């Protein structure tokens, strides 16, 4: 009797263990790269993707850790008689494999997009019912990263029961593929997706604006506010994903671009640039390639930062780092400039003294027991590392 009870428990628990064991260690720190959606939407092509790979390899991004070039929706048009997915022959005349080879030849990794439903969000063929065939195709093509969306799933399936099918198909391959689950936070993705996904979206799509007015329009600040409390669910090899970067896009000012990048670094979010890498102003590039901000995002301890002070117009985020150091980000959310008196020792209840290092100006500005006076323009951050 006892034995069969153990067996029954094993039958119920085992499939999850097998999946968990097979999740490749490809996201020990949050993934960094570029994705086509935020700027180009459906207007993707082989030429464009190659130019992005060229840009990333040459402009300093690859040097500071960006590695994935990901084509989002609209590369696929149909399935052939064997069910194999077919790329758009006009936009991708050399085929996806040749494109992946090209991206690899630049020392970068290659990512692709599909959907857990019958069709993608842009009405292209989805992977439902074709998970194994698609996974094998990705392996054959040399895909390193799969973003997997949640459109056209009907009302009878939940993402919790649907996503493992593709995860399992991927883990049966010899090739490790990073699995990016894009179900917009449905069923509290953060509570269960870590069993098989490397990153999971926590919200609907980010828009290229810092502070929206409508509840249905997810600005940077609205997305930020939805991350409260999720910090305990993200960590090494399984990260909350507050969506891709809008740095350099839409109506974001330079202060807002900096704030967005600083906050996503604090959240240990995937750093997936979403702008046109070929034509970016130098100050946007310098934000995206700031080594110290990236070091905070990529810190090996893998702790997601959280909101310590939650005022209407003033917030403070803290992130624990390796070697007992801390990152701290002060945010002026308001429309007006604010002058803030801030003492790191008192506000963070620090038991030892630190050197306060300003990330953007790359200089030590004092010690943690001093009271600083920060003049903060609207939508700007003070972003520091407390060094021992
Ligand atoms: C959904 C996703 C976006 C993008 C589009 C593509 O909206 O959340 O990130 O992939 O689909 O159609």
Q: How many Å lie between the centroid of ligand 1 and the Cα of residue 58?
A: 28
pLDDT band at 1 (very low <50, low <70, confident <90, very high): very low
Identify the residue whose C-alpha is closest to ligand 1 atom 4.
37
Identify the residue whose C-alpha is closest to ligand 1 atom 3.
205
Identify the residue whose C-alpha is closest to ligand 1 atom 1.
121
Identify the residue whose C-alpha is closest to ligand 1 atom 11.
121
Does any ligand 1 atom lie closer than 6 A to the CB of residue 144? no
Does any ligand 1 atom lie closer than 6 A to the CB of residue 72? yes
Spatial distance between the Cα atoms of 388 and 323, rounded to a whole number of angstroms: 8
Does any ligand 1 atom lie closer than 6 A to the CB of residue 37? yes
- Write out the two tokens for 291: 């080594």
Q: How many Å lie between the centroid of ligand 1 and the Cα of residue 362?
A: 36
- Residue 244 has a pLDDT of 98
Q: Measured between alpha carbons, how far is residue 191 from residues 116, 117, 223, 239 in Å?
A: 19, 22, 18, 11
* 190, containing H or E segment: helix 189-192
pLDDT band at 212 (very low <50, low <70, confident <90, very high): confident
Nearest-10 crossing angle of helices 46-58, 95-105: 10
Percent of the chain with pLDDT over 70: 94
- Residue 200 has a pLDDT of 98
Q: How many Å lie between the centroid of ligand 1 and the Cα of residue 165?
A: 20
Model confidence at 265: pLDDT above 80: yes
303-360 residue pLDDT tens:
999 999 999 999 999 999 999 999 999 999 999 999 999 999 999 999 999 999 999 9
Q: How many Å lie between the centroid of ligand 1 and the Cα of residue 232?
A: 26
Going 204 to 194 to 112 to 57, the CA torsion angle's sign is positive
pLDDT band at 17 (very low <50, low <70, confident <90, very high): very low
- Region 144-163: what's the mean pLDDT? 95
Percent of the chain with pLDDT over 90: 91
Most informative mutation of 34, 35, 37, 117 for ligand 1 (most atoms within 8 A of CB): 37
pLDDT band at 372 (very low <50, low <70, confident <90, very high): very high
Spatial distance between the Cα atoms of 145 and 31, rounded to a whole number of angstroms: 10
Query: Own/partner pairs for 309-313, CB < 8 Å, 24+ apart?
Result: 309/347, 310/228, 313/338
- Residue 161 has a pLDDT of 96
Q: 10 Å Cβ neighbour count for 65? A: 18
- Residue 4 has a pLDDT of 54
Exactly one of 54, 101, 195, 205 is catalytic; name it.
205
- Residue 387 has a pLDDT of 98
Q: How many Å lie between the centroid of ligand 1 and the Cα of residue 115?
A: 9
- Region 105-119: what's the mean pLDDT? 98
Does any ligand 1 atom lie closer than 6 A to the CB of residue 152? no
46-95 residue pLDDT tens:
999 999 999 999 999 999 999 999 999 999 999 999 999 999 999 999 99
Most informative mutation of 182, 206, 223 for ligand 1 (most atoms within 8 A of CB): 182
- Residue 53 has a pLDDT of 99
Spatial distance between the Cα atoms of 235 and 249, rounded to a whole number of angstroms: 28
Locate the ligand 1 atom nearest the alpha carbon of residue 205 and give its number: 8
- Region 253-280: what's the mean pLDDT? 98
Does any ligand 1 atom lie closer than 6 A to the CB of residue 115? no
Q: How many Å lie between the centroid of ligand 1 and the Cα of residue 352?
A: 45
Q: How much is the mean pLDDT over the chain? A: 94
Model confidence at 14: pLDDT above 70: no
| Residue 339 backbone dihedrals phi, psi, to 5 degrees | -105, 120
- Residue 337 has a pLDDT of 98
Exactly one of 72, 73, 134, 149 is catalytic; name it.
149
| Lowest pLDDT segment from 16-20, 24-28, 122-126, 378-382 | 16-20
Does any ligand 1 atom lie closer than 6 A to the CB of residue 122? yes
Tell me whether residue 115 is one of the annotated catalytic residues: no
- Residue 3 has a pLDDT of 47
More confident residue, 2 or 376: 376
Locate the ligand 1 atom nearest the alpha carbon of residue 122 and give its number: 12
pLDDT band at 21 (very low <50, low <70, confident <90, very high): low
pLDDT band at 22 (very low <50, low <70, confident <90, very high): confident
Tell me whether residue 346 is one of the annotated catalytic residues: no
Q: How many Å lie between the centroid of ligand 1 and the Cα of residue 205?
A: 7
- Give 300-317 as a 3 state SS string: CCCCCCEEEEECCCEEEE
């Amino acid at each position: 009797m006892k034995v069969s009870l153990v067996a029954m428990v094993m039958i119920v628990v085992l499939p999850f263990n097998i999946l968990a064991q097979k999740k490749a260690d490809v996201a020990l720190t949050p993934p960094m790269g570029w994705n086509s959606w935020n700027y180009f939407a459906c207007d993707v092509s082989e030429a464009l993707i190659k130019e992005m790979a060229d840009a990333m390899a040459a402009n300093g991004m690859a040097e500071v850790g960006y590695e994935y070039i990901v084509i989002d929706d609209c590369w696929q048009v149909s399935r052939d008689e064997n069910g194999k997915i077919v790329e758009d022959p006009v936009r991708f005349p050399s085929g996806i494999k040749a494109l992946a080879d090209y991206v690899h030849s630049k020392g970068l990794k290659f990512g692709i997009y599909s959907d857990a439903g019958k069709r993608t969000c842009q009405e292209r063929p989805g992977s439902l019912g074709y998970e194994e065939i698609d996974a094998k195709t990705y392996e054959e093509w040399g895909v390193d990263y799969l973003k997997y969306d949640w459109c056209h799933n009907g009302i009878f399936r939940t993402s919790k029961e649907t996503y493992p099918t593709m995860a399992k198909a991927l883990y049966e391959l010899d090739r490790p593929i990073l699995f990016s689950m894009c179900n917009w936070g449905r069923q509290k993705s953060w509570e269960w997706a870590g069993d098989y996904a490397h990153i999971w979206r926590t919200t609907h799509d980010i828009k290229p604006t810092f502070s929206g007015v409508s509840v249905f329009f997810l600005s940077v600040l609205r997305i930020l506010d939805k991350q409260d409390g999720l910090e305990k669910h993200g960590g090494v090899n399984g990260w909350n994903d507050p969506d891709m970067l809008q740095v350099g896009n839409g109506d974001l000012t330079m202060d807002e671009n900096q704030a967005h990048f600083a906050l996503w670094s604090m959240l240990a979010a995937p750093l997936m640039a979403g702008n046109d890498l070929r034509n970016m102003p130098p100050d946007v590039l310098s934000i995206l390639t700031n080594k110290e901000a990236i070091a905070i995002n990529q810190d090996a301890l893998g702790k997601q930062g959280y909101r310590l002070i939650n005022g209407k117009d003033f917030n403070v985020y803290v992130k624990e780092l390796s070697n007992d150091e801390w990152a701290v980000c002060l945010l002026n959310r308001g429309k007006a400039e604010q002058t803030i008196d801030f003492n790191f020792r008192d506000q963070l209840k620090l038991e030892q003294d630190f050197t306060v290092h300003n990330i953007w100006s790359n200089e030590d500005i004092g010690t943690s027991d001093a009271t600083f006076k920060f003049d903060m323009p609207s939508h700007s951050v003070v972003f520091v590392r407390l060094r021992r």
